[in-house]
């Protein structure tokens, strides 16, 4: 079908008109449409976000209220800030009425109710819309905590030193919140990355020149444009040390003085070293040029060289020293900062100072020998000392030891024997000798002199083991009756020779040539009865030079023997050693004792016979009259119990009161004799009751009481020994036939019994 051009134009026009109308309709219905698709359309271009309105923050009061948009067909809004911060008027225009702050709240959510304007009827569900607060550049960049940066010196170009960061509260998506960093000074060494805030080292740094940098950093928003805000801060960058300096002596020469007597090892002084590096990067090494075992140089804690001597110095030998010392460092970074201009070798001069030293003995110990015997003034040897300070100076010698048998010549040091020496009493002597300068300076040195006393043959040999020799009665001719030996205090006297001193027919001697000699019997027949002991003179000679000979008497005992010549009994006066007078005295003593014993035995026997004759048994004699059950009062107590009271209860009609303390007299009752046992007990009781010295508690006393019936009186030996002899036994014959035998015994033998005592 052909289309007329006009028609074609008409058609295009209609189409265009239609599109415009469509657009208008779409636009008119937009409010409603947004309700359904708001969530989807939020990120569309602003032009198309019909449900989003924009309001600037920080509007001044004079500009308020300010219209920010219009909602069609609605005069009601609700939600965040509705009808306060945001209001709507009759025709749906929305106003912001107060100052907003994006940094506090950047977006508000509200609802619009869409109703028929005349009927008020709700036409659609509530439409949500947002009010976005637009940012203005109202905040400055702010630097957060800034660390201290550090970088090693000589770090390569481009090394990162540190990071500084600033923040801006404004919207970072806009220029308001976009930060650019600028380094304000120090740019010849450092640069800063404008995006990340990192410093990058830009040149060669040297800690020894400057060890710390303070840099001013500026942060600015608005892409660093002049309209933006800026903030500056100062950051610190420390430069760390590396070993980039070689050590060097502070001078080309060092001079020291040292005393010759210092105790080694000794530090003479310091070879000061300059190394600008920090201590941990100082590691100098010192070398002494040439062969020198006297000195060495040690690195001390400060990195300096300590010059030390190994051995003692001697002014007299070498008064001064000079040598070269070099210093180097192995691990220094090449090339070092201080190349060319440094002193790496220095000359050391040492002057040895003279010190007054004590004399020095040629030896610390001298050994001399001298023969024993009287060698007075014999020269033993000599000691010698010299003064190292002044050779040939006068020295005086002395002996310090008190017990030294030597004398020293004060000038020459010659030693002579002072007293007789005896090797056998002391074989060696140790003497301390001293040497000091003359006149004395107080400096003394000592040396030891050891003197060995040599032996001479000055002691006789003596016979030993002589007691081994004895004769048995059974011994026959040719019997070896013993072996003798010899001893000599001297040394190396060799073999002893034994010979008989006098010829004798009884014995012969055989020298065994091994320092013993056997004694041989020439004939038998020796009897202990005949001879207790016989002697034999033996000569013994040693083999010293000259030899010494001694005569010794051998005492040979004569014994009776068992088998195998074991001695049983030897008669030998010499061995008892008791004199005749002593023997007589002993015998006299024995005799006296015997006589006394015999007298006692005789007396006992007589008493026994008497008792048997009286027909009484020995058991009836009450020798022990009082028995104590307690321990008693000791010897004092015997007064309280006088035996004589009991034994003589009533002799002459009255009670004999024992001689005793006065208390007894107080307690005395009227005499109540007549043999009344009861009365006797009463008296004893009474005495005990009034006895203030007595033992206070009750004790059991057993009193022996002989009674009063017997006219014979007491038979106690206590009485009989003193009274018995005076008794007349004549009355026995008057007692009748029962006592006849007794009367005969005593009456007839009265004279006998008297004479026996």
Residues engaged in binding ligand NAG (CB under 6 A): 116, 118-119, 180, 185-186, 193-194, 213-216, 224, 234, 464-465, 485, 487, 504-506, 512, 514, 516, 526, 530-531, 534
Q: How far is the CB of 350 from ligand NAG (least distance, A)?
A: 49
State in angstroms the smallest separation of the CB of 88 from ligand NAG: 19
Q: In terms of Cα–Cα distance, which of 249, 248, 255 is closest to 348?
A: 255
Q: Are 223 and 193 in contact (CB under 8 A)?
A: no
- Closer residue to ligand NAG, CB minimum distance, 254 or 526: 526
DSSP 67-114: EEEE-TT--EEEETTBTTTEEE-TT-EEEE-S---TTT--EEEEEEE-
Min dist CB 406 to ligand NAG, Å, is 35
For residue 345, give both structure tokens: 């070798």
How far is CA 752 from its chain centroid? 97
CB 291 within 8 A of CB 248: no
What's the CA gap between 424 and 489, in Å, rounded? 7
Nearer to ligand NAG, 510 or 604 (CB): 510
Residue 149 makes CB contacts below 8 A (sequence gap 6+) with: 161, 162, 199, 235, 236, 237, 238
Q: Which is nearer to ligand NAG, 292 or 506 (CB)?
A: 506
Q: What is the 3-state secondary structure (H, E, C) of 263-299?
A: CCCEEEEEECEECCCCHHHCCCEEEECCCCCCEEEEE
Q: How far apart are CB 55 and ligand NAG at their closest, in Å? A: 30
**Least CB distance from residue 193 to ligand NAG, whole Å?**
6
Q: Let me know how long the chain is.
A: 757
User: Between residues 213 and 254, which has the closer beta carbon with respect to ligand NAG?
Assistant: 213
Our CB check for ligand NAG shows the closer of 141 and 186 to be 186
174 and 135 in contact (C-beta within 8 Å)? yes
Residue number with CB closer to ligand NAG (215 or 350): 215
3-state secondary structure of 740: helix
Side-chain-facing half-sphere of 110: CA atoms under 13 Å: 29
Bridge partners of residue 555, in order along the sequence: 535
Nearer to ligand NAG by C-beta: 193 or 367? Answer: 193
Task: Kindly state the smallest distance separating residue 467's Cβ from ligand NAG, in Å.
Answer: 9
Of 215 and 268, the one with the shorter C-beta distance to ligand NAG is: 215
Q: Give which of 441, 310, 314 is closest to 388, Cα–Cα.
A: 314
- Output 399 or 484, the one with its CB closest to ligand NAG: 484
Please state the closest distance from residue 118 (CB atom) to ligand NAG, in A.
Answer: 5
Q: What is the DSSP letter of 373?
A: B
Token digits for 701? 């006393």
Q: Are 102 and 57 in contact (CB under 8 A)?
A: yes
Radius of gyration of the chain (CA): 74
**Tokens linked to 252:** 């080309």
Considering only CA atoms, which of 259, 267, 387, 266 is closest in space to residue 319?
A: 259
Comparing CB distances to ligand NAG, the nearer of 176 and 434 is 176
Between residues 234 and 602, which has the closer beta carbon with respect to ligand NAG?
A: 234
Look up residue 248 and give its DSSP letter. E
- Please say which residue, 295 or 498, places its beta carbon nearer to ligand NAG: 498
C-alpha dihedral over 502, 505, 506, 511, to 10 degrees? 60
In the bound complex, which residue of the shown chain has the CB atom lying closest to ligand NAG? 485
Beta bridge partners of residue 201, listed in sequence order: 190
Question: Pairing between strand 406-408 and 414-417?
Answer: antiparallel
Please give the DSSP secondary-structure letter assigned to residue 122: B
β-strand 345-353 against 166-168: which pairing, if any?
Answer: unpaired
- b/e per residue, 513-543, with b = 16+ CB within 10 A? eebbbbbebeeeebebeeeebbebebbbbbe
Nearer to ligand NAG by Cβ, of 10 and 234: the residue is 234
Residue 551 gets the label, from left (phi > 0), alpha (psi -120 to 50) or beta, of: beta
Name the minimum Å distance from CB 213 to ligand NAG.
Answer: 5
Q: What angle do CA 90, 96, 98 make, to 5 degrees?
A: 135
Sheet hosting strand 198-201, strand order edge to edge:
160-163, 198-201, 190-192
Spatial separation of the C-alpha atoms in residues 59 and 62, rounded to whole Å? 8
Token pair 């970072």 in the structure block, residue: 172
The backbone torsions φ and ψ at residue 468, rounded to the nearest 5 degrees and listed phi first, read -70, -15
Residue 129 DSSP symbol? E
487 vs 641, beta carbon nearer ligand NAG: 487
Taking the complex as a whole, the smallest distance from the CB of residue 228 to ligand NAG amounts, in Å, to 11
Of 39 and 119, the one with the shorter C-beta distance to ligand NAG is 119
Where b means 16+ CB within 10 Å and e means fewer, 671-684 reads: eebeeeeebbeebb
**Which of 531/639 has CB closer to ligand NAG?**
531
Category of 224 on φ-ψ map: left (φ > 0), alpha (ψ -120 to 50) or beta = left
d(CA 408, CA 383): 9
The residue whose two tokens read 């009609």 is 653
Cβ closest to ligand NAG, residue 213 vs residue 286: 213
Choice between 144 and 514, CB closer to ligand NAG: 514
Question: Rounded to the nearest whole angstrom, what is the least distance from the CB of residue 534 to ligand NAG in the complex?
Answer: 5
Q: What's the closest the beta carbon of residue 497 comes to ligand NAG, in angstroms?
A: 14
Contact (Cβ atoms closer than 8 angstroms) between residue 178 and residue 184:
no
Q: Work out how close the CB of 480 gets to ligand NAG at its nearest, in angstroms, rounded to a whole number.
A: 9
């Amino acid at each position: 079908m052909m289309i007329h051009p006009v028609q074609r134009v008409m058609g295009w026009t209609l189409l265009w008109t239609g599109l415009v109308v469509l657009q208008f309709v779409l636009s008119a219905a937009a409010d409603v449409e947004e309700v359904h698709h708001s969530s989807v359309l939020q990120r569309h271009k602003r032009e198309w976000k019909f449900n989003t309105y924009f309001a600037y923050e920080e509007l001044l009061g004079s500009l308020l209220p300010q219209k920010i948009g219009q909602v069609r067909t609605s005069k009601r809004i609700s939600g965040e800030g509705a009808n306060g911060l945001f209001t709507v008027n009759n025709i749906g225009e929305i106003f912001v009425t107060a100052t907003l702050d994006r940094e506090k709240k950047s977006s508000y959510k509200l609802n619009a109710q869409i109703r028929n304007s005349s009927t008020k009827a709700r036409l659609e569900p509530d439409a949500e819309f947002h009010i976005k607060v637009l940012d203005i550049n109202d905040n400055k960049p702010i630097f957060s905590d800034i660390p201290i940066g550090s970088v090693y010196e000589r770090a390569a170009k481009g090394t990162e030193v540190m990071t500084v960061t600033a923040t801006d509260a404004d919207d970072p998506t806009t220029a308001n919140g976009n930060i650019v960093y600028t380094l304000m000074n120090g740019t010849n060494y450092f640069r800063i990355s404008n995006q990340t805030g990192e410093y990058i080292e830009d040149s060669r740094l040297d800690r020894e020149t400057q060890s710390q940098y303070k840099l001013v950093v500026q942060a600015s928003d608005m892409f660093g444009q002049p309209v933006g805000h800026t903030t500056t801060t100062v950051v610190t960058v420390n430069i760390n040390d590396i070993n980039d300096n070689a050590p060097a002596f502070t001078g080309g020469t060092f001079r020291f003085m040292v005393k010759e007597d210092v105790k080694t090892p000794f530090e003479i002084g310091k070879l000061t070293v300059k190394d600008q590096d920090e201590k941990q990067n100082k590691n100098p090494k010192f070398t002494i040029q040439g062969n020198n075992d006297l000195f060495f140089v040690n690195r001390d804690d400060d990195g300096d060289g300590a010059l030390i001597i190994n051995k003692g110095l001697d002014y007299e030998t070498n008064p001064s020293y000079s040598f070269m010392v070099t210093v180097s460092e192995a691990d220094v970074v090449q090339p070092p900062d201080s190349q060319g201009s440094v002193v790496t070798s220095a000359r050391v001069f040492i002057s040895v100072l003279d010190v007054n030293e004590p004399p020095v003995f040629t030896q610390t110990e001298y050994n001399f020998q001298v023969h024993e015997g009287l060698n007075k003034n014999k020269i033993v040897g000599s000691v010698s000392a010299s003064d190292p300070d002044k050779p040939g100076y006068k020295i005086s010698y002395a002996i310090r030891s008190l017990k030294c048998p030597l004398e020293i010549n004060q000038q020459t040091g010659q030693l002579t024997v002072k007293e007789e020496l005896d090797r056998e009493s002391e074989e060696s002597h140790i003497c301390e000798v001293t040497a000091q300068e003359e006149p004395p300076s107080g400096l003394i040195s000592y040396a030891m002199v050891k003197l060995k006393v040599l032996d001479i043959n000055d002691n006789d040999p003596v016979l030993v083991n002589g007691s081994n020799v004895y004769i048995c009665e059974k011994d026959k001719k040719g019997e070896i009756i013993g072996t003798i030996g010899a001893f000599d205090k001297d040394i190396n006297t060799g073999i002893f020779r034994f010979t008989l001193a006098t010829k004798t027919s009884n014995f012969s001697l055989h020298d065994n040539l091994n320092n013993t000699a056997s004694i041989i019997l020439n004939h038998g027949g020796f009897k202990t009865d005949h001879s207790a002991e016989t002697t034999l003179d033996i000569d013994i000679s040693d083999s010293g030079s000259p030899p010494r000979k001694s005569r010794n008497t051998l005492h040979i005992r004569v014994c009776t023997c068992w088998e195998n010549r074991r001695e049983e009994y030897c008669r030998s006066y010499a061995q008892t050693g008791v004199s005749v007078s002593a023997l007589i005295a002993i015998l006299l003593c024995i005799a006296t004792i015997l006589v006394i014993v015999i007298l006692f035995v005789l007396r006992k026997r007589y008493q026994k016979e008497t008792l048997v004759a009286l027909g009484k048994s020995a058991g009836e004699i009450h020798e022990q009259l009082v028995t104590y059950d307690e321990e008693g009062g000791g010897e004092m107590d015997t007064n309280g119990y006088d035996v004589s009271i009991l034994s003589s209860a009533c002799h002459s009609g009255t009670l004999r009161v024992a001689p005793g303390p006065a208390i007894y007299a107080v307690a005395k009752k009227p005499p109540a004799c007549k043999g009344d046992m009861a009365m006797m007990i009463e008296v004893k009781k009474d005495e005990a009751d009034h006895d203030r010295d007595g033992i206070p508690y009750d004790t059991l006393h057993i009193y022996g009481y002989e009674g009063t019936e017997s006219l014979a009186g007491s038979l106690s030996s206590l009485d009989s020994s003193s009274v018995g002899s005076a008794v007349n036994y004549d009355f026995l014959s008057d007692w009748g036939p029962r006592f006849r035998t007794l009367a005969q015994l005593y009456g007839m033998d009265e004279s006998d019994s008297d004479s026996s005592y």
